[in-house]
Amino acid sequence: MLDQTVFLVVDDADSMRKINSNQLSRLGARQILLANNGLEALSILNSRPVDVIVSDWNMPVMTGLELLLQVRSDKRTAHLPFMMITAECEREQITRLIDSGVSSILIKPYNPQNLAQQLEQAMRHRPKYQALPVQPVAVPAPVPAASKRRPTLLAVDDMPENLSLIAGLFKPDYRVRLAQDGQTALGICTSSTPPDLILLDVMMPNMDGFELAEQLRSHPQASQIPLIFVTAMNDPQALQRGLELGAVDFVHKPMDMRLLKLRVGNLLRHVERHQQVQAECNELLMQARLREEVEQITRHDLKAPLSGVLGIARGMLDGGNLLPGQKRMLRLLEDNALQAMNLINLSAALYRIETGKFELQPVAVDLATMLTSMIEALRVTYQAKALVIELCLPDCVEAPAAPAWADPMLCYSLLSNLLKNACEAAPQGSRVRVQMVEGEAIGIRMENQPAVPADFRPRFFEKYSSHGKQGGSGLGTYSARQLAKAQGGDLELHVDEQQDLTCLLLGLPSVGAEVTIGCS
């Protein structure tokens, strides 16, 4: 119920705040809060309950995108529907909004129907805190060009012969509606099916074209409809008044029908392009929602069979009466199933980290034991490459290694990712060296050949950035760094050109200490 929903409208332009508030009121909203920019909006969010945010993008002090990122990174507000209003049409900018968690996008200029549609979409989308099975939304097939909606042209003139002339000229290409007076035209423009363009005569009885234009511009349902004045007047003051009322063109009587058709066609192509941009935004959002839902279904549905595989493998290993080769194969099966389960858990964890919903619940984690187990398995896996995988633990072997204060599952994913990448990148017969150092923080240094190429180093930790690995997702080092930072640590890249070495330095907090990391 919109009358019980609290809206926060954010825009630096007073006129746009009023227009959006009026349109929301017409849709049934009764509780509307106003903010001049993103910073003021955050102050309101900290002091008042809000259900939906409607924000412009380009604002001083704090932009709409910056506000969106702040909202999504705060646990108290991350779930709020957020509709962004923008004139930006570049695909890269729209994709950036989607990646930042926008609920819907409304392209300027717009009318109340557009606002209502995007508001409904925004209120249907609320970021989820956990992956649950949901019904996928089908992405509609592209509409064939022949069945696309034809633009609607409204001609307003008190002379029936002029209306007949315009109707005959434009009916082959457009839907044409006719009105002989301003009051009839006003009713059409403020209806549920307004026209896409108005051809408006100036000199009419009762309500002339200028008066009609004033009423249209003050009405939220019709304020964005482009109009062309048709007039026999050549007075510069009349021309200025028409432009002030928002006319996009003037056509002088007697009309040159060929030029009129070209002008209308050019303007309606612009209108159609705007509609296409809005449709593309809607489709990109729908695909993002679908991708998110498919990932949730996949994570949920894969866990059950993988748990079954792990259970069967462990049951057979515990049952005994197996030949050495069978035990080895079952352990490999168990290890691969664990890796697959780890990837599923990692995907869910990364989603929570990127959307600001991850809450670290650290415990003491024995990284030395974890590394020892992983490296033993990797020696078997990469024995065909004749790699020397060396593990150097702290000198004090009698006492247990100082535990990290971290999340066990994230540590396993992080270390597994880095070790696997190092072994895959290392040349045949080379060495992969892992050194663990204790102190105020747990430091782990991983070295392998070759050195990361100079041109790729700035992008080494970027998402979807991959080098020299066919079919690589480009998520390995990106996810590793995200997992380290989510646990209060960090991951750094250093390169030794002389020895042709890549060096990764991982730092994680030890129990009761803050992380510090450096390269020796």
Distance, CA of 325 to chain centre: 49
Q: What angle, rounded to 10 degrees, do the helices at 236-244 and 209-217 form?
A: 20
* Same domain, residue pair 376 and 492: yes
**Pick from 55, 68, 51, 73: nearest CA to 2:** 51
Is residue 380 a part of any domain in this protein? yes
pLDDT at residue 489, rounded to an integer: 93
Domain stops at, among 203, 237, 258: 258
514 phi, psi to nearest 5 deg: -90, 155
Q: Phi, psi (5° rounding) for residue 271? A: -60, -45
How confident is the model at residue 504, as a pLDDT?
Answer: 95
Round to whole Å and give the CA distance between 384 and 111: 66
Question: Phi-psi region for residue 449, left (φ > 0), alpha (ψ -120 to 50) or beta?
Answer: beta
Per-residue pLDDT in tens (0 to 9) along the chain, 520 residues: 678 899 999 998 887 888 888 889 888 889 999 998 888 999 999 888 999 999 998 888 788 888 998 888 888 888 899 999 887 667 777 778 887 888 888 887 777 777 888 888 888 766 543 232 333 333 334 444 434 568 889 999 988 888 888 888 888 888 999 999 989 988 898 887 888 889 888 888 888 888 888 888 877 667 778 888 887 777 777 778 777 777 777 887 877 888 888 888 888 877 777 677 777 776 777 666 656 655 555 555 566 677 777 778 888 888 878 888 888 888 878 777 777 776 676 777 777 787 677 888 899 999 998 899 889 888 888 888 999 999 998 765 444 456 899 988 889 888 988 998 899 899 999 999 999 887 677 899 999 999 999 999 998 988 766 666 554 556 678 888 999 999 999 999 999 999 999 999 999 998 865 433 333 3
Same domain, residue pair 48 and 93? yes
Q: Which two tokens stand for residue 203?
A: 């000199």
- Kindly tell me the burial class for residue 51, based on how many C-beta atoms sit within 10 Å of its own C-beta (0-12, 13-18, 19 or more): middle
Domain boundary among the residues 354, 376, 407 is at: 354
Cα–Cα distance, 242 to 212 (Å, whole number):
11
Q: SS3 for 192?
A: coil
Could you tell me if 113 and 171 lie in one domain? no
CATH number at residue 205: 3.40.50.2300
Model pLDDT, residue 314: 80
Position 140 in a domain:
no
Write out the DSSP string of 382-426. Answer: TGGGT-EEEEE--S--SSPPPPEEE-HHHHHHHHHHHHHHHHHHS
Handedness of CA 58, 61, 65, 68 (dihedral sign): negative
Nearest 10 degrees: CA dihedral of 419, 424, 427, 431? 10
Q: Is residue 269 part of a domain?
A: no
Same domain assignment for residues 43 and 118: yes
Identify whether 142 is part of a domain. no
Q: Are residues 349 and 395 in the same domain?
A: no
Residues with Cβ within 8 Å of 316's Cβ and at least 6 positions away in sequence, in order, are 322, 330
Q: Which residue type does 213 have?
A: A
305 lies in the same domain as 441: no
* Whether residue 371 sits in one domain with residue 343: no
Structure tokens at 300: 């949920």
Give residue 328's pLDDT. 82
SS3 319: helix
| CATH number for 462 | 3.30.565.10
Same domain, yes or no: 94 and 20: yes
Same domain for 501 and 369, yes or no, is yes
- How many Cβ atoms from other residues are within 10 Å of residue 466's Cβ? 17
Residue-range definition of the domain harbouring residue 176: 147-258
Distance CA 82, CA 118 (A): 10
Q: Which CA distances in Å does 99 have to 72, 121, 386?
A: 11, 17, 42
Instruction: List, in sequence order, every beta strand (DSSP E) within 72-215.
Output: 82-86, 104-107, 152-156, 175-179, 197-201
Answer positive or negative: Cα dihedral of 444, 459, 285, 289: negative
Distances (CA, A) of 316 to 81, 310, 385: 50, 10, 30
Buried b (16+ CB within 10 A) or exposed e, 70-94: bbbeeeebbebbbbbbbebbeeeeb
How far apart are alpha carbons 420 and 234 in whole angstroms?
Answer: 78
What gap in Å lies between CA 166 and CA 212, rounded to an integer? 20
- DSSP class per residue in 202-214: S--SSS-HHHHHH
Residue 248 and residue 193 in one domain: yes
Judge contact between 227 and 109, C-beta under 8 A: no
Other Cβ atoms closer than 10 A to 46: 10
Flag whether 266 is in a domain: no
| Residue 475 structure tokens | 């998520």
400 preceded by a cis bond (ω within 30 of 0): no
The structural domain count of the chain equals 4
Local structure of 149: helix, strand or coil: coil
Please check whether residue 112 is in contact with residue 23, taking contact to mean a CB–CB distance below 8 angstroms: yes
Residue 388 lies in a domain: yes
Instruction: Burial-class residue 414 by CB neighbours within 10 Å (0-12, 13-18, 19+).
Output: buried
What is the DSSP annotation of 280-291? HHHHHHHHHHHH
Between CA 199 and CA 215 the distance in angstroms is 16
Whether residue 109 is found in the same domain as residue 168: no
Domain stops at, among 93, 124, 155: 124
Instruction: Give domain status of residue 515, yes or no.
Output: no
In a domain? residue 252:
yes
Tokens in use for 241? 């008044």
* CA separation for the pair 151, 170 (Å, rounded): 11
Q: Do 407 and 489 have their domain in common?
A: yes
